[in-house]
Amino acid sequence: MLIYTLKRLALAMLVAFTVSIIAFSLVRLSGDVATAIAGEAATQADIDAVRDKYGLDRPLPVQYFEWFGNIVKGDLGKSLYFQTPAKDVILDRLPTTLWLGFFALCFAVIVAIPLGIIAALRPNTWIDRASLSVAVLGQAMPTFWFALLLMLLFGVKLRWLPISGNETWAHFVIPSIALGYYAMPAIMRLTRAGMLDVLSSDYVRTAKAKGLDTRVVLFKHALRNALIPVVSLTAVQLGFMLGGSVIIESIFTMHGVGHLALLSVQRADFPVVQGIVLILAVIYILMTLIADLLNGWLDPRIRLG
C-alpha cells in the first residue's frame, strides 16, 4: 500500500507540474499581455512601461521559473486588476465555488441514487423509463438554459428565491439545482446499472434464499457494493462542477472563482487566471488521488494492477 501511495503521489505532483506549465503558457500565448493590460488609451510608452514593470520582456522560461518559484512559497503574484495579492482575491471567492459544487453534488446524489435504485428494482417499466427520461433531459438540456428557466420561474414569477448574489443559503438553491442537474444523470445511470448487476449476482440470490428481509438485502448487501463505482464517479463529478461553475456563477452573479476566472480572462489579469487554473487543478488532482487511494484500499487488486 505504501509503494502504491507513493507512486500515486508522485504521479499527482507530475500532473500538477504539467498543469502549471500549461496554465502559464496558455495565458501568454493568448496575445500581447502588455497591450491588453495597458488598455485602450495607452501610448506605446505606456505599453513599454507595463512590459518593463511586469518583466514581460524576458524569455518565457525565465518568467515561468520565477513564477513557479513564488508559487512554491505560496505567492501567486499581484492581481493586475485589483492591485492586491492574487491569492487573496482567489481565496476570498473560493468558498462560494466550493459550497456551490458541494450543494450541487448533494442535490445530484440525493436525486440520482434513489432514482437509480427505483429504476433498477423495476426494470423496463414506466418508472424505469421515466427515470431514464429525466436523466436524458438533464444531459441534453444546456445548463444555462435550465438555469434561466429556474430563475424565471422561482425568482421572477413566484419570487420565492433570490436571483443573483451569494449572501445567504437561499441564493444557492437555484444555482445548485441547475448545476447539479447536469451531474445527476451519470450518477443515476451508474447506480441503476450497478444495482441491476448486483441484484442478479449469486450472493444476493443466496441472501434472498436465506429468507432475509428485502430491505436488508437491498441496502446492506446490494447497495453497498453497487455504490463503490458511484463514489469514484462522484469525486470526479465534483471536479467537473468546479469547471461548470463558470457559467452558473456568471448567470447568477455568484462571486466565486468560476465567475472570477471568466472576468479575469477578459481583463487579461493573468496572475489571477493562472492561480485559479492551478488551484482548481490541484483540487481536482487531490480528489482523484483520494478516490484512487480509497479504491486501492477497498480493492487490493487495484494496487497490484
Partner 1 sequence: MKLKSKINTLAVAAGLGLMALSTPATAGADDNTLNIALGLENYNMDSYFTTHRIGIIMTRHIWDSLLYRDPVDFSYKPALATSFEWIDDTTIEFKLREGVTFHNGEPFDADDVVYTFNFISNPDNEILNQRNVQWIAGAEKVDQWTVRVLLKAPFPPAIDFIAGPLPIYPNEYYAKVGPEGMNLNPVGTGPYRVVSVEQGQKVVMEANENYWAGSPKGQPSIKTLVWRTIPDANTQIAELMSGGVDWMWKADPDQAQMLSAVPDIQVVGGETMRIGFLQFDAAGVSGDTPITNLLVRRAISHAISRQDIVKNLLPEGSQVVNPACYPTQVGCTTDVPTYDYNIDKAKQLMTEAGYPDGFDLELFYYRDTNLAEVMANDLGKIGINVTLNLQKPGVLRDMSIAGKTALIFWTWGSYSVNDASGSTGVYFGNGIERDLARDQQVNDWLEIGNTTIDLATREDAYKKALTRISDQAYWLSLWSYSYNYAFAKSLNFTPAADEIPRFFTASWK
Nearer to partner 1, 155 or 229 (CB): 155
- Give the distance, in angstroms, between the CA of residue 14 and the centroid of all CA atoms in the same chain: 20
Nearer to partner 1, 138 or 194 (CB): 138
Q: Does residue 95 belong to the site contacting partner 1 (CB under 8 A)? A: no
Q: Which three cell numbers stand for residue 150?
A: 429556474
Q: Which stretch binds partner 1 (CB under 8 A): 187-195, 217-225, 255-263, 286-294?
A: 255-263
DSSP state of 123: T
Query: In angstroms, what is the minimal distance from the CB of 4 to partner 1?
Result: 43
Q: Does residue 168 belong to the site contacting partner 1 (CB under 8 A)? A: no
Nearer to partner 1, 46 or 75 (CB): 46
Query: In angstroms, what is the minimal distance from the CB of 51 to partner 1?
Result: 12
Query: Which of 31, 61, 69, 123 touches partner 1 by CB under 8 A?
Result: 31
Spatial separation of the C-alpha atoms in residues 84 and 239, rounded to whole Å: 27
Q: Does residue 148 belong to the site contacting partner 1 (CB under 8 A)? A: yes
Q: Does residue 163 belong to the site contacting partner 1 (CB under 8 A)? A: yes
Query: Which of 43, 124, 168, 200 touches partner 1 by CB under 8 A?
Result: 43
Instruction: Output the CA torsion sign for 224, 114, 145, 94.
Output: negative
Q: Does residue 39 belong to the site contacting partner 1 (CB under 8 A)? A: yes
Q: What distance, in Å, lies between the first and last C-alpha atoms of the chain?
A: 12
- Say if CB 269 and CB 79 are below 8 A apart: yes
What Rg do the C-alpha atoms of the chain give, in angstroms? 24
Query: Which of 82, 99, 102, 240 touches partner 1 by CB under 8 A?
Result: 82
> Distance of CA 131 to CAs 55, 108, 212, 246, Å?
57, 13, 28, 28
Q: Does residue 157 belong to the site contacting partner 1 (CB under 8 A)? A: yes
Query: What letters, b where the CB count within 10 A reaches 16 and e where it falls short, cover 82-97?
Result: eeebbbebbeebbebb
Beta-bridged to residue 78, according to DSSP, are: 85
Binding site for partner 1 (CB under 8 A): 31-32, 35-36, 38-44, 47, 81-84, 89, 92-93, 142, 144-145, 148-149, 151-153, 155-157, 159, 162-165, 250-253, 255, 259-260, 263
